[in-house]
Amino acid sequence: MANKTTDMSKIRKVIKFYSNGKSKLFISNYLSLSRNTVKKYISLFEVLGLSFEIINEKTDAELELLFSHTTEESVSPKLQTLYDYFPVMERELKKVGVTIYRTWEQYIALHPDGFQITQFRHHYKIWAKRVNPVMHMNHKSGDKMYVDYAGKTLSITDKKSGEIKNVQFFVAILGASQYTYAEASMSQQKEDFVRSVENAMHFFQGVPAAIVPDNLKSAVIKSSRFEPTINETFADLADHYGTSILPARAYKPRDKSLVEGAVKILYRRIYAHLKETPFYSLAELNQQIWDLLKTHNDSKLTARPYSRKELFLEDEKQKLHPLPEARFELKYQSHATVMQNGHVLLSQDKIGSAYGQFKSKLGNLGYQLGLRVENTNIDIDFRSAREDKQVQKQKEYTGFFPSAFLS
């Protein structure tokens, strides 16, 4: 196409007029296009099964991919039958052990006069590029859950002070069904990150075989092509849920393209609705996010007759591993130096205490009796610098401290 911008603009107008009920003759005269050209683009538009809204959201480059193969063959009944089969085939390919050749055998059994395997592969490649212009990856059901934070933050407002606090936007997506979870959290620190990942698995009602995070510090302490160092708390979460962690490789955009694509879609479908609305708590903001998320998951996928939720319920949910009975309990670690008096200062979460008191009087004599109970858990990790020796112990101490006062 010599003038790509002009051509893509005219294609948009052809589809817009056609979607609004204008005749092919009117479109041809108004846009100064031949009737055959108008007919060709409308026919391909119908074959693709896209709405005008979806077409209008695409860039010129994406539109060129969609409408680049506009021959008579593209809209022949034989090819249209094949294109109708591809959404079904795509779902089959997400199942473990299913190959393109096997799906072709099923197709040719239904349509003996259909395309042979070479042409079948060729047209599937064209169809996949049209439906999803980025490089196509086949994801197996229950295989991976991709997690990441959006680059743009949301905000909540303190009712008393009027202070606006920025909050993070967490997104998780299952590879095969593209079923999506999202929530707002106060930070990207490991406590908030781990809890968001856990909330995602409970939303999906199952555990994937692997979690694929980006290389944020809450997930990966040190990235490496061969053996990245996983954050210990995140690794404990994976052990608790019986899954594994496969960090996205640095400078490998395809490793995280699915979740980044989901973030871009949620910018349009969620951010746009939240931008002008003030929220006064995280719970209030998340409830609105989840309401909009439901609409997103229930919407039909591009050029497919099913939604993310339908695909998840029918194909992927049963492939997830069951959730454990108890949720993950966050553990906090601290390193302390033994002081000269032989004591160490423990963090607050290591000590549990209770105090009770009773007071009364006998005549002019008043008295007060009290009892304080402290329970302390200590993890001992002793390494000798002189000897090659390491001792690891866990001890629990319970102490009773009575008191009495007279007045």
Dihedral sign computed on CA atoms, order 299, 302, 305, 307: negative
Question: What pLDDT was estimated at residue 341?
Answer: 52
Categorise residue 69: left if φ over 0, alpha if ψ from -120 to 50, beta otherwise: beta
Q: Are residues 288 and 389 in the same domain?
A: no
Statement: residue 32 has pLDDT above 50:
yes
Q: Which of 72, 87, 118 is the last residue of a domain?
A: 72
Quote the CA–CA distance of 62 and 11 in Å, as a whole number: 12
pLDDT tens track for 134-148:
444 567 788 889 988
Quote the CA–CA distance of 272 and 222 in Å, as a whole number: 35
Question: What pLDDT was estimated at residue 343?
Answer: 56
Question: What pLDDT was estimated at residue 153?
Answer: 86
Give a yes or no: residue 62 inside a domain: yes
Q: Are residues 192 and 228 in the same domain?
A: yes
Q: Are residues 178 and 253 in the same domain?
A: yes
Q: Are residues 263 and 291 in the same domain?
A: yes
Contact 64, 55 (CB under 8 A): no
Least Cα distance to 88 among 314, 254, 319, 309 occurs for: 314
Concatenated DSSP letters of 175-191:
TTT--EEEEEES-SSHH
pLDDT tens track for 337-395:
665 555 555 554 455 556 677 788 888 888 888 787 777 766 666 554 455 566 667 77
Question: What pLDDT was estimated at residue 248?
Answer: 73
pLDDT band, residue 196 (cuts 50/70/90) = very high
Mean pLDDT of all residues in 192-196: 93
Task: Please count the CA atoms within 13 angstroms of the CA of 257 that sit on its side-chain side.
Answer: 13
Place of tokens 């994937």: 208
Q: Are residues 99 and 192 in the same domain?
A: no
Question: What pLDDT was estimated at residue 138?
Answer: 62
Question: What pLDDT was estimated at residue 225?
Answer: 62
Q: Could you give the number of structural domains in the chain? A: 4
Contact 183, 199 (CB under 8 A): yes
Q: Are residues 192 and 261 in the same domain?
A: yes
Give a yes or no: residue 332 inside a domain: no
Q: Are residues 239 and 184 in the same domain?
A: yes
Give a yes or no: residue 337 inside a domain: no
% of the chain beyond a pLDDT of 90: 16
Give a yes or no: residue 358 inside a domain: yes
pLDDT band, residue 72 (cuts 50/70/90) = very low
- For position 243, which CATH number holds? 3.30.420.10
Question: What pLDDT was estimated at residue 330?
Answer: 79
- Candidate ranges 84-98, 204-218, 297-311; pick with highest mean pLDDT: 204-218
Dihedral sign computed on CA atoms, order 190, 194, 199, 201: positive
Statement: residue 322 has pLDDT above 90:
yes
Question: What pLDDT was estimated at residue 121?
Answer: 87
Least Cα distance to 50 among 83, 27, 73, 23 occurs for: 83
On whether the pTM is more than 0.85, the answer is no
Contacts of 254 (CB under 8 A, 6+ apart): 135, 137
- The length of the chain in residues reads 407
Mean pLDDT of all residues in 219-227: 68
Q: Are residues 248 and 390 in the same domain?
A: no
pLDDT band, residue 251 (cuts 50/70/90) = very low
Beta bridge partners of 144: 210
Give a yes or no: residue 221 inside a domain: yes
- Domain residues for 180? 144-319
Give a yes or no: residue 83 inside a domain: yes
Contact 320, 180 (CB under 8 A): no
Q: Are residues 311 and 172 in the same domain?
A: yes
Tokens representing 96 are 């473990």
Give a yes or no: residue 391 inside a domain: yes
Q: Which of 86, 105, 131 is the last residue of a domain?
A: 131
Give a yes or no: residue 92 inside a domain: yes
Q: Are residues 109 and 203 in the same domain?
A: no
Quote the CA–CA distance of 103 and 188 in Å, as a whole number: 43
Q: Are residues 198 and 162 in the same domain?
A: yes
Q: Which of 85, 106, 131 is the last residue of a domain?
A: 131
Mean of the per-residue pLDDT values for the chain? 78
Contact 367, 361 (CB under 8 A): yes
Quote the CA–CA distance of 240 and 234 in Å, as a whole number: 10
pLDDT tens track for 101-128:
888 888 888 888 888 988 888 888 877 7
Distance between alpha carbon 376 and the CA centroid of its chain, in Å?
39
Q: Are residues 153 and 194 in the same domain?
A: yes
DSSP helix, strand, coil percent of the chain (3-state; round to 5): 45, 20, 35
